[in-house]
Structure 1
Amino acid sequence: MFLSINPATGGELARYEPHSAADVDQALGEAVAAQRAWRKTRMVERCALLRKVAQALRAERDTYALLITQEMGKPIREAEAEIEKSAWTCEFYAEHAPRFLADELIPSNATESRVVFDPLGVVLAVMPWNYPFWQFFRFFAPAIAAGNGSILKHAANVPGCALAIEQALVNAGVPAGLSRSLLIPSSAVAGLIGDDRIAAVTLTGSTPVGQLVAAEAGKHLKKQVLELGGTDPFIVLADADIARAAEFGARARFQNTGQSCIAAKRFIVEEKVADAFTEQFISHVRALRTGDPMDRDTQVGPIARADLRDDLHRQVMQSVREGAHVALGGDAIAGPGAFYAPTVLDHVELDMTACREEIFGPVAPIIRVRDAEQAVAVANDTEYGLGAALWTGDLSRAYHLARDIEAGAVFVNGQVASDARLPFGGIKKSGYGRELGVYGIREFTNIKTLWVGPAQV
């Protein structure tokens, strides 16, 4: 049984029966049949369908946003923005997929040689709860435009979102069976990966889960794209605009209640400006409104599950025992729901829990460094490498330093964000492969060489 629990109240929203083995088998069979027909459709038809998906999402924006807020606690304004971003991404690929997947003529010794991009088949998408619509649609839009089908295995605490996504696609006229949501336990994922009807797999989740999925997919020689989170650095150098860095830093850390793979998770601040930055940063954090995520003025909602809040508090307390200073917050908020006070930890060192582990919640560790060189060294001193922010007034130096930062993306004087126009993904234990942009749409294609003779002398 899948339970949907409102993290703001702890109350049960709904119960859902899991799909049986027979249901799964039928869904896979239907997906393969639908994809075989879909791959033969013209690109103009695929793009037209994506525009209809965007329309279907916007038509039920309020309903879907409410469901997101109820199931995982996202503040309602952010939930609405998530639906809009999902719709816009569908429109982006509807506009650009023909160019991204156009044949590429390559000079060679052939009479003609080109590279073509064929679909792989049905792709298994194992998705997390923190952006329950966006995480799926940033995969779905390019995958469908490329001619693939999809099977969604969503996080266990957002079953309502999983089924709503499937219904949204039905409403948009997606061919029957081409994209299905399966309510199955995590233990069933290995069997899906091993099934010959699954051509590839994409996962957004934790590193340990990514290692399991990669091992299983590798055993069956199936393509994977893995986005596995990180401990993203937010570097503030002495010549930065401290006021703006503090303002954007608060947004970068506490958006989605800090439950984002690309949230700023380590604030690495040059010693000369550390006191000034910390003071202004704390001022912005203190001003954040925490409470009912259905209140349109709320900026920080509950943690998605009570057990996740408890683990977050463990990380904070362990860091304090290791020597970190609680400058603000530092505890759960009394009362119903899985709320945690916006927290700032100062004087965090490299070997502390708040620096070594991914902090998935409203907690901001501040690390003080002597100069830019040490800032980059500290930023790179992690197993992860997803995103990074660098704040400085010297743009010529910024380009140089950005090259030295080990991450899939570096944002200079801004907040790290995903954007359909730009590739998204990480290195090291943050995973591999790319979503979004031209690179993302080609991940789930067979990049095929087509050589036409006779050879030219």
Structure 2
Amino acid sequence: MDSTNPATNRPLESYEEHSPSKVDTMLGDAEAAFETWKHRPLADRERLLAAAADVLRANAREYAETMTRETGKPITQAEAEVEKCAWVCEHYAEHASAYLEPDHHPSPPGTTVKTVYEPLGPVLAVMPWNFPFWQVFRFAAPYLTAGNVGLLKHASNVPGCALAIEEVFREAGYPGGVFQTLLIPSDRVADVLADDRVEAATLTGSDRAGRAIASTAGEHLKKTVLELGGSDPYVVLADADLDAAASTGVWARNQNGGQSCIAAKRFIVVEAVYDAFLDRFVDAVESLVVGDPMDPETDVGPQARQDLLEGLHEQVRASVDAGATLVTGGEPLDREGVYYPPTVLTDVPEGCPVDTEEVFGPVAAVYRVEDEAAAVEKANDTAFGLGASVWTADRERGERLAGEVDAGCVYVNELVKSDPRVPFGGVGISGYGRELSEDGIKEFVNRKTVWLADEPDDGTVVE
């Protein structure tokens, strides 16, 4: 398993894959660890999670540099990612007890009825490379604290990140077997998921990968949570603050090199302000600094892999061939590394790749629509449903439109983002289930009903 620096396209390091026998041992370790970990007082698990936050902050620069070397993420964004991971650890360290407090229900006199939340067991997490620390910690922080144990199958191009995350939990004092990294290729995931010792799975990735995980999990009747791709609309109405909408929109599309499921991808602008918005947007796009991701002045680094750049460029070329207008960018940069410039397309024809597919790179499709109704119609003209952003000076109007846009989350006058305090997830082919907040920690628990009676009920119970 090899890692490559996309800023130079040169090899970084080679890692030995875990053999089937090694994986079998690790599954046994996870099963054994769960039998002890599930009985560990919740307060202890919270204290260990707070310690993980401390480890993250103490080694923030080291972890950020590992991310940048393996993915090309600009170093300032990598450092911010480590800090966000520490935040989610602190969030659940503070709130897990309240989230998992038993819920009491109405019951007959002399009885107590409640729902308690008990862990399921080993959970397999199949995670992507684009936010190689954050995606892992947003599953690990709640699920481990609920009493589950974790098995991480990370993307094959970020093995250094995968092992570093395992190190975080080890240095924080977690018992052996509670969190383990499996260095295996994707074609061995199905066998791990099918193993009787694995109770559930979560995946962040493409809809194709999600279908594969869901199929295997369904065959074995195992719970899954899937956060899949997105083609998020970014709706700009006539009364929007155009300066704010344009500057935020450029960041929403181009942070992390545009490689984000919740990046704004389809910019839908009403006719009355289309030209004014486009001028501001393109100026801001062209001012972005593309360069060495280790340079703190860099806004956009390389794409993560050569094959990803080639696929992105093919989407752009096919869309231009179909009639889209290339306003800026649109050609791989002639320099060392896997660099694609921030790109803007207009006059996007229906059915072309940037209109119907997820575009995982710094390419923005800008649409001109007649009015608010047409904007909502275009926003919903997609099989994806992860996030959406609506820009308007009228807060009530924004809230009304949030109810009309089909997505797992809608942000008004803000870019779409995940936040430990609120549930996160999608609809349609963007997946199902929720991460983060109280909903997230309760995804992989047994919601057990406990009925306590002082005396047996003399009545007849009918199911």
TM bucket normalised to smaller: over 0.9
Q: Which amino acid aligns with 2:116?
A: V
1:349 Cα deviation after fit: 3.0
2:42 is matched with: 43
Percent identity over the alignment? 53
What secondary structure, in the 3-state scheme, does the structure 2 residue paired with 1:443 have? coil
Query: Aligned partners of 1:236, 1:161: CA distance in 2, in Å?
Result: 37
- Match of residue 274 from structure 1: 274
Partner of 1:259: 259
Alpha-carbon distance in structure 1 between the residues aligned to 2:115 and 2:192: 31
Report the Cα offset of residue 82 of structure 1: 0.5
For structure 1, the 5+ residue unaligned runs are none
Counting only pairs closer than 5 Å after superposition, residues 174-185 of structure 1 correspond to structure 2 as 174-185=174-185
Question: Aligned with 1:265: secondary structure?
Answer: strand
For residues 187-236 of structure 1, what are the alpha-carbon distances to aligned partners after superposition, in whole Å with 9 as ceiling and x for unaligned?
11100111011000000000011001000000000000000011000000
Tell me the residue number matched to 1:19. Answer: 18
Give the aligned partner of residue 83 of structure 1: 82
Higher mean alpha-carbon deviation, 150-159 vs 446-455, is at 446-455
Q: Distance in 1 between matches of 2:105 and 2:159?
A: 46
Displacement after TM superposition at 1:353 (Å): 1.2
Which residue in 2 is equivalent to 1:61? Answer: 60
Question: Mapping of 1:414-425 within 5 angstroms?
Answer: 414-425=414-425
Deviates more, 1:346-355 or 1:447-456: 447-456
Amino acid at match of 2:295: D
AA aligned opposite 1:19: H
Q: Contact 1:350–1:378 at 8 Å: present in 2 too?
A: no
- SS of residue matched to 1:53: helix
- Structure 1 302/448 Cα, relative in aligned 2: closer, same or farther at 3 Å? same
The residue number in structure 2 matching 1:294 is 294
Measure, in 1, the Cα distance between the counterparts of 2:143 and 2:49. 11
TM-score of the superposed pair, with normalisation by structure 2: 0.97
| Distance of 2:63 and 2:458 partners within structure 1 | 58
Cα pair 1:109 1:456 within 8 Å, conserved = no
TM, length-normalised to structure 1: 0.99
**1:35 to partner: Cα distance:** 1.2
The aligned runs of 1:137-216 (5 Å cut-off) are: 137-216=137-216
Q: Secondary structure at the match of 2:264?
A: coil
In the alignment, what sits opposite 2:333? 333
Deviation at 1:109, TM superposition (A): 3.0
Unpaired segments of 5 or more residues in structure 2? none
How far apart in 1 are the matches of 2:92 and 2:396?
34
1:352 partnered with 2:352: yes
1:390 is matched with which residue? 390
Partner of 2:256, secondary structure, is helix
Q: Counterparts of 2:350 and 2:225 in 1: how far apart (Å)?
A: 30
| Match in the other structure for 2:430 | 430
1:94-144 CA-to-partner distances (Å, cap 9, x unmatched) read 000000000111112371100100001010000000000000000000001
Residue 367 (1) aligns with residue 373 (2): no
Deviation at 1:451, TM superposition (A): 1.0
Q: Which moved more, 1:109-118 or 1:303-312?
A: 109-118
Is the aligned partner of 1:413 residue 2:417?
A: no
**Aligned partners of 1:416, 1:432: CA distance in 2, in Å?**
18
Give secondary structure in 1 for the equivalent of 2:116: strand
Does the alignment pair 1:133 with 2:133?
A: yes
Q: CA deviation at 1:393?
A: 1.2
Q: How many residues align?
A: 456
Separation of aligned partners in 1, 2:373 and 2:108: 49
Q: Name the aligned partner's letter for residue 241 of structure 1.
A: D
Shift of 1:456: 9.7
SS in 2 for 1:202: strand
Question: In structure 1, what is the Cα distance between the partners aligned to 2:108 and 2:278?
Answer: 62
The equivalent of 2:28 in structure 1 is 29
CA distance in 2, matches of 1:96, 1:164: 26
The residue identity in structure 1 corresponding to 2:324 is: A
Q: Secondary structure at the match of 1:14?
A: strand
Q: 1:304 to 1:456 in 2, by over 3 A?
A: farther
Q: Which amino acid aligns with 2:376?
A: V
Q: Distance in 2 between matches of 1:25 and 1:234?
A: 46
CA-based RMSD: 1.0
CA distance in 2, matches of 1:75, 1:350: 34
Hey, what's the Cα distance between the residues in 1 that align with 2:243 and 2:167? 45
SS across alignment from 2:361:
coil
Partner of 1:307: 307
Distance 1:220 1:210 in 2: 15
Structure 2 Cα separation of the partners of residues 183 and 229 of structure 1? 24
Deviation at 1:335, TM superposition (A): 1.6
Q: Deviations over 1:371-398 (max 9, x none)?
A: 1111111111111000000001121121
Q: Helix, strand or coil for the counterpart of 2:163?
A: helix
Question: Contact 1:349 / 1:367 at 8 angstroms: preserved in 2?
Answer: no
Indicate the residue corresponding to 1:317 in structure 2: 317
Asked whether the 8 Å contact 1:434–1:443 carries over to 2, the reply is yes
- In structure 1, the residue matched to 2:442 is 442
Other-structure match for 1:3: 2
SS of residue paired to 2:226: strand
Give the residue type in structure 1 aligned to 2:46: C
Aligned-partner SS, 1:280: helix
Alpha-carbon shift at residue 350 of structure 1 (Å): 3.0
Q: Measure, in 2, the Cα distance between the counterparts of 1:370 and 1:351.
A: 19
Q: Which amino acid aligns with 1:109?
A: P
CA contact (8 A) 1:332 1:339 kept: yes
Distance of 2:149 and 2:81 partners within structure 1? 23
Helix, strand or coil for the counterpart of 2:316? helix
